[in-house]
Structure 1
Amino acid sequence: MNSFVTLLLLPLSWLYAGVMAMRNWLYDTGLKASSSFQAPLIVVGNLRVGGTGKTPHVAWVVRELQQLGEQPVILSRGYGRQTQGYRRVTEKETAATVGDEPLQHWQDFAGAVPVAVAEDRRLGIRHLLAETTATSVVLDDAYQHRRVRPTLGILLTEHKRPFYEDWVLPAGRLRESRGGARRADVIIVTKCPAELPAAEQAEIRQRIGCYSRPGAPVLFSSYTYGAPVAVGAAAAPASLAGVLLTGIAQPGPLREYLTQAGYALAHHAAFADHHAFTEAEIRAVVAQLPPGGSIFTTQKDAMRLREPALQAALAGVPVFFIPIEVRLLGDGAHQLRQFLMSSFQPHAVV
């Protein structure tokens, strides 16, 4: 968005920010109810619309909780699903019924970690705590869901698109004003270069500190990419030639990684975040494949490719997703682990 359009939209942004500020004030003062639960609630979210890396960071948190001997469950709204209400994720569900990210969480942990979706997080938490032996609930993308009171709030902001350089919708991409960062217990700057200079880290911490609560640590994370994982019967790519298919908010880092790793991408079919692929679109992607090539995609997109109609369009076509894992820079993993450990104290139900 160019600067002239941004200036034109700023009055609308101020209006929207004012509405959100009033809403937050009502919750902060207790005039609107916010519930807590006996089990710790760990919220992973952001201020910005679009991808900041919530899904792999949720997976990191869940694995750490397992290492601590806890029994975590994951609750999401289930963005993009065609259903409503509370729903548990099972092997029978699809991206259309529960959303691509919850389905990815369920697959990541091979069904060993209960995953559910619900627009009303309070309802979802009550169901999960009644149906499982959960000792903690990890809420994916619930930073603005003030009807529940988190035990630990983890705010993500992208290295290339930090919230302190953005504006509230519609002039920018923020869901609320920059001051919303004050609710976070921990802030993680995501998708950083693996060797982010200390001087740049210090500058980012200083700029975030203008909006965050005093003493809230600012951590940094980067992505590590794994070997291609087959979606279907193929064992391994015949070559590194093929096309890239994405329906995520920020495909740039993946495309850059594949290019640097030697993948020969003949085409990048880039769609909007959570895009529901059609059979015609998939057939058009297949038509772009070079001889002996494969379709490379993200794990989240692979969840949506499981739809029967799309599977028919992909019959005989090798498809692979590129797995992503989060690595916290410096002593970030230790710091975040300490915060997780401190969350397990008695909490009264309200």
Structure 2
Amino acid sequence: MVIDRFSGFKHLFLIEKPIKIDFKDKYYSLPYMNLLRKFLFPFAFLYGIIVWFRNKFFDAGILKSTSYDFPVVCVGNLSAGGTGKSPMIEYLLRKLSYENIAVLSRGYKRSTEGFLLLKGTEEAIETGDEPLQFKTKFPKAMIAVDADRRNGIAELRKQNAEIVLLDDAFQHRKVKAGFNILLTAYGDLYSNDFLLPTGNLRETYSGADRAQVIIVTKCPANITLKEREHIRFKLQIKQYQDLYFSTIKYADVISNGKEEFSLTQLGNNYTVVTGIAKPEPFIQYLKAENVDFEHQNFPDHHNFTAAEIDVLNTKPCILTTEKDFMRLKDKISVPLYYLPIETAFVENEAHFLDRLNSFITEFKK
């Protein structure tokens, strides 16, 4: 077949993801616009054919991939955002006890070009919000941005990087990572999705076969064995692959970047600002804490305009995500806080780390 396992075909008419439409800096969630996405099915089919041939050309060696004689670990997904790549990168930075670890990101929506090794003094507009977040939390790690991953890896090696973590590079097939970690969100499995622009998949889900490890993120902490086995069946896990389940662990405190406070100290008179792909779990967590707030939602990686900042600065207090904090901290004059999060494994964390460390130590023999 030209498109094997054509992603989510039976779910074509079940897609319920709203589209955000921008009208003069205002954002409207229009569920009925989902109908438009379904009408775009012919374009999704054409897109799928192009991506399928591209992958086959890389598999056959017609298009060249660069392999490396040192550990290169890729963290990626099949869908367009919202699977928890940033918390996973941070998890790896916390857990891998090796010197000279580097993270290479594209630096989405940054104003700079080419290779940039972060010092930590930059603004988010120069680096992208996530790389600056990594550098702020892990100042000893080498954090770099470069849309050309091959060039970025070469530059990091000049800086004596021994292990490179690739952030969101699963579709960047000019680089052949030795270890691929593929993420898919519990409430939005790639097996239930469809190709862009009808759905949110960047490629057909047969692309998952390239991964050594698949992690279902954002799971309920009490996910049952029956649910896990059902997901394993739906994702069609291969014998050479390991499947893990993780959840989001919210911190007990909020931070302003310098000090930590109890969430209850904010009272109920504050505004929650989100500019991430899927803010629903964050909002649901806050609601479960029995707090009352106004929610202002913006698109993922949104660069806030001067007019939007002026409006936000009229609020008594703002709580946001850590990623959004990176973009807002130098612009907001009212009290600004973020709620830290971490990736936590539901089970078999030691098994995952053993497999990853075994891959890394193979290069040290």
Normalised by the length of structure 1, the TM-score is: 0.89
Asked whether 1:9 is paired with 2:36, we answer no
RMSD, aligned CA: 1.9
Matching residue within 294, 301, 311 for 1:284? 311
Matching residue within 334, 345, 348 for 2:350? 334
Instruction: Show CA shifts across 1:206-253 (max 9, x none).
Output: 1101xx433311111101111101146786664332110110011111
Other-structure match for 1:322: 339
Cα distance in structure 1, aligned partners of 2:345 and 2:106:
26
Instruction: Show CA shifts across 1:301-321 (max 9, x none).
Output: 0110134xx2xxx32x21110
Other-structure match for 2:321: 298
Asked whether 1:93 is paired with 2:155, we answer no
**Please, which runs of 5 or more residues in structure 1 have no aligned partner?**
none
Cα distance in structure 1, aligned partners of 2:307 and 2:272:
17
Q: 1:25 deviation in Å? A: 0.8
Cα distance in structure 2, aligned partners of 1:346 and 1:219:
22
Asked whether 1:239 is paired with 2:270, we answer no
Q: 1:9 deviation in Å? A: 1.7
Question: CA 1:232 to 1:43, structure 2 compared with 1: closer, same or farther past 3 Å?
Answer: same
Matching residue within 200, 217, 220 for 1:173? 200
Other-structure match for 2:27: none
Question: CA 1:337 to 1:232, structure 2 compared with 1: closer, same or farther past 3 Å?
Answer: closer
Cα distance in structure 2, aligned partners of 1:325 and 1:20:
33
**Please, which runs of 5 or more residues in structure 2 have no aligned partner?**
1-16, 18-31
Asked whether 1:22 is paired with 2:53, we answer yes
Amino acid at match of 2:326: M
Kept in 2, the 8 Å contact 1:44–1:156? The answer is yes
Q: 1:346 deviation in Å? A: 5.3
Instruction: Show CA shifts across 1:248-274 (max 9, x none).
Output: 011111111111123321x10100000
Q: 1:37 deviation in Å? A: 1.9
Kept in 2, the 8 Å contact 1:181–1:213? The answer is no
Normalised by the length of structure 2, the TM-score is: 0.86
Cα distance in structure 1, aligned partners of 2:73 and 2:262:
37
Cα distance in structure 1, aligned partners of 2:337 and 2:149:
33
Q: 1:87-126 counterparts in 2 under 5 A?
A: 87-109=116-138, 111-126=139-154
Asked whether 1:59 is paired with 2:84, we answer no
Kept in 1, the 8 Å contact 2:254–2:260? The answer is no
Asked whether 1:343 is paired with 2:359, we answer yes
